[in-house]
Every structure is written in C-alpha cells, then in structure tokens.
Amino acid sequence: MLTGPTGFIGSAFMRLALEQGHDIAGLIIPNENIPAQAPRNDRLHWLRGTLDAAPWAEIDEFAPEVCVHTAWITAPGVYLESPDNEKFRDDSMAFLKRVTSAGARHVVGLGTCVEYRIGREPLSEDATPAEPGTRYARCKNELRLALEADARERNYTLCWARVFYPYGPGEHPSRLCSSIIDKLKKGEEVVLRTPGSVKDYIFIDDLAAALLTVVEKRFRGTINLGTGVGVSVEEIARQLGSLLGRPQLVKVADNPAPDPFPFVVADNQKLGSLGWRQNVPISEGLKRLIAAKA
C-alpha cells in the first residue's frame, strides 16, 4: 500500500518497486488525474480516496502486507508552518491504525532530517536527540512517537525513515537546484544568500532505492535516508554555472544570511549496513537534472 504515489518521492519509489516485481496499491485523491508518465503495469492498482476517506473495501481486498506512507503537505514556501501539518499527522495516524488492522504488519513512514537537533556533526539516529523546530518537523516527530507506541501495543513493525535533501528530475521548480538552473538558463544572476550552508543532497533514484531497501529488509526503527556527504549551496551553484557555461552569473551576497540549518548531513551507517550505496554523486545528478529540464 502506497500513499502519495504521484508525489516526487512516492512516484520514484513506485516506479522502482514495480520494476523489482512488487504489487502496489496507490492511493490517489478522487479528482486527480493519473499522471501520463505513470507506469502501465498489471501489478499497479489505483485506489481512489484520501487518508480520511479511504476506500477500505478495496484496500481490504488488496490485503497489503506493507504500507509505505509518503503522503504529506510539501509545497515549498508553505509546508514548514502550515496548519495542514496537524491534519496530516492526525489523518495519517488514523489511516495507519486502520491499515494495520486490515492486515499490514509493517509500516514505513517518511520523517524528516530536521526532526533532529541541528549542530555541526552528522546526524545520528541513536546519538542525536530529536528537537524539531518547525511545525512540519514537530508533526512528523509526533506521528513517529504515536506510531511507535501503537506498534508496540498492537504488534506490528515500524520503520521511520528520515529523509534528507532529495533532488532530481520531477522536483518542484522552486527547489534549490531547479531554481538555479532556471535562472542561469534565462541569463539571470544567481545571488547566494546562504553560500556556506551544507546539506546532504540525495538523488531521487538513490532515495527510491534506499526506501525500497528498508522495505525489503523489513527494517524496524529509525533510519536516515541520506548519502553521508555534505555539499554547500555555493558548490552546487558553481557546478551548475560551469555545466551551463555561465559561471560568471553565480555571485555570493555581500552580507550572507544565517541559515537556521547550516549543516544537515546524515550519519548513514545503518543504511549502508543494509547494502545501500550511493550510485549518483552530486556531479552526475546535476547533469541528469539539467538534461531532464532541457
């Protein structure tokens, strides 16, 4: 069972899982068109409904063994403090309790790297405390805590996958890499406000593979989905400037702004222990993104 199958992460995961032979029931909202690029596959079943009004008869008939929950509010510039986060938290809890009652014995929920207390060291599932600073991160963390208690009480297994910074074809145009590419293509200057901000950027195909890995391994507990490699905003912008032949358009602001999350990099030893490896380094991922936007 997959929620959010048309989203950036959900759609990438769905494509890979189908390629690997899994059967998927994707929950799509009633008035949404099935994307033209969606796979045509006999193992893919589209179910119309929402988290708070799910098609339970069809879900019961499908009888999912695992539920991968990617649905959430993600609109850039809106999602961090939107009151919709509380609704997604509550609707997600009710939906996942019901789907586990229907027979799913393993749940994989998507968390966020900014549930952690952000410092200057790689973020560790076991060593770094949770200290969510936005409504989005708080609601994700509250859902995790509620699911952990429910899983213990009702005897199913839970994987809480904290996602770092995905990028790649299909991302929202206002995301960092796409917005820089679009400006450079138009011949506009790119002025970096937080040039030294370091993040763990994971190419969308690598993220889908990481998510499928934790599903297939039935990993239980919290796990980081990141590369373990930090890249600064300035490094990304200068690589893109070079790739597009417009390096002179990349500028650093005279008075750079402080970033509340200046260093967000995964300790990814747990993910690595499951056999996952990064296949697409940032240099290759940026080339693929540029090619996809041509």
Cβ contact 104:156 at 8 Å: yes
Contacts of 241 (CB under 8 A, 6+ apart): 184, 190, 247, 248, 249, 250
| Domains located in the chain, CATH noted | 2-166+202-225 (3.40.50.720), 167-199+229-266+277-292 (3.90.25.10)
Which pLDDT score, from 0 to 100, does residue 152 have?
Answer: 97
Which pLDDT score, from 0 to 100, does residue 160 have?
Answer: 98
Mean pLDDT of 56-70: 97
Is pLDDT at 247 greater than 90 in this prediction? yes
Contacts of 260 (CB under 8 A, 6+ apart): 118, 133
In angstroms, the CA 118 to CA 259 distance is 11
In angstroms, the CA 159 to CA 259 distance is 30
Mean pLDDT of 236-263: 96
Kindly report the average pLDDT of the chain as a whole number.
Answer: 97
Is pLDDT at 183 greater than 90 in this prediction? yes
- pLDDT tens profile 111-161: 999 999 999 999 999 999 999 999 999 999 999 999 999 999 999 999 999
pLDDT bin (cut points 50, 70, 90) of residue 171 is: very high
Is pLDDT at 75 greater than 90 in this prediction? no
Helix axes 282-292, 233-243, angle to 10 degrees: 50
Counting Cβ atoms within 10 Å, is residue 77 exposed (0-12), middle (13-18) or buried (19+)? exposed
Which pLDDT score, from 0 to 100, does residue 179 have?
Answer: 97
Percent of the chain with pLDDT over 70: 100
pTM of the model: 0.97
Which pLDDT score, from 0 to 100, does residue 266 have?
Answer: 98
Considering Cα of 264, then 272, then 201, then 96, what sign does the dihedral take? Answer: negative
Which pLDDT score, from 0 to 100, does residue 164 have?
Answer: 98
Is pLDDT at 221 greater than 90 in this prediction? yes
Is pLDDT at 36 greater than 90 in this prediction? no
Is pLDDT at 76 greater than 90 in this prediction? no
